[in-house]
A = this chain, B = another copy of it.
Amino acid sequence: MQTIQSTSYPVLFQENGYNTLNDFIKSKAFKTVFILVDENTHEHCLPILQQEITADVVFEVIEIESGEVNKNLGTCMSVWHALTDLGADRKSLLINIGGGVITDMGGFVASTYKRGIQFINIPTTLLSMVDASVGGKTGVDLGVLKNQIGLFADPEMVIIDPLYLKTLSEKEITSGMAEIIKYGLTYDASLWKQFTDETKEVDLVGMIHRSIEIKNEVVLEDRLEANLRKILNYGHTIGHAVESHFLESDDKETLTHGQAIALGMITEAYISSKLFNFPLSDLEIIKTTITRIFGKVPVLKTDYPAVIDLMKHDKKNVNGQVNFVLLESIETCKIDCKVSVDLIQESLDYYLL
């Protein structure tokens, strides 16, 4: 697979990635490389990586507990302390190997440790490969508010190796599909078509490459999310709020990010049909296709007020206005759309139908 050049760094695939990594470690003469993992990537992914690193270097592995609930400043503190105790200095390198929690948090930890050290991301989940590989977003949650604390910071490189996907459950693979669907709906109808046409065989590696390519095109044009980049938030306004609500409710099972965004894409397509005449035929296909893949999130009418309240804290809001990305048609987005609370509730009713 061809290398994708992002803002200041390359996204490298497989062998090509490892070769570049080895050259990088040698050229910078690192004696020690710090590696951030969780218990899963420690067991399943780190051995793969270690086999590929031929450079003569000592690994110091820092393990944190997996899961979005640990993506917070408390965990950052423990990593900063570990780096300090292990003697990491301003010229050290941190390799983050894991899902979005590890790469988002590891990027934040690295870029704020002693005012910033170099880091490399190796996403091991489908979601983090297609979502977190480019864009430079790092951060952690503040209470239930996702990515409330963070900054824009670029890794030295990103390495994509589909081999890591073999360590994932089917549920995790499916979760990542939601973002790929999003790229299809907002940017590339032919990518979307691969989901609606059940007869076609799924080319997962090709989809990953195309998704990163799309995100990269969008990010290169609009890194700071003034305009175009906002389309990447399609499905995420309602999706994030539902995800946060389920996370903070003791009596609810935590959703995968994909399940939440799946719900968000259906409800926001419904709103699009009401406000921008998004074709009803496409709306029905979206609902059918996405529900076939993700099933239905057990959201209740009694959850609506909490979900709507959470939307008000979305980072995308300015002056207290909730901003939606909506669809005029497949591939054609409208950004900064205001939506009434009534219509949001109606869209959730439609989802539950």
Partner-B contacts on A (CB < 8 A): 31, 73, 76-77, 80-81, 84, 87, 89-91, 108, 111-116, 137, 139, 142-143, 145, 147-152, 313, 315-320
Contact = CB atoms under 8 A, between A and B. Distances in A.
Contact of A115 (B73, B91, B112, B150): B150
A112 B114 contact: no
Contact of A315 (B115, B145, B147): B115
B317 A89 contact: yes
Given A81-B142, A87-B320, 11 more contacts: A73-B77, A77-B142, A80-B142, A84-B313, A90-B315, A90-B318, A91-B318, A108-B112, A113-B148, A114-B315, A151-B151
A63 to B, nearest CB: 20
Given A81-B142, A142-B77, A320-B87, A112 B315 contact: no
Contacts of A87: 320
A143 B150 CA distance: 21
B142 A115 contact: no
A152 B148 CA distance: 19
A31 to B, nearest CB: 7
B84 A142 contact: yes
Contact of A116 (B80, B143, B152): B152
Contacts of A150: 112, 114-115
A147 B84 CA distance: 13
Given A73-B77, A150-B115, A151-B115, A89 B137 contact: no
Nearest to A111: B151
A115 B137 contact: yes
Contacts of A76: 73
A105 B321 CA distance: 29
A77 B142 CA distance: 8
A224 to B, nearest CB: 9
Which of A77, A81, A89, A111 has the largest number of chain B CB atoms within 10 A? A89
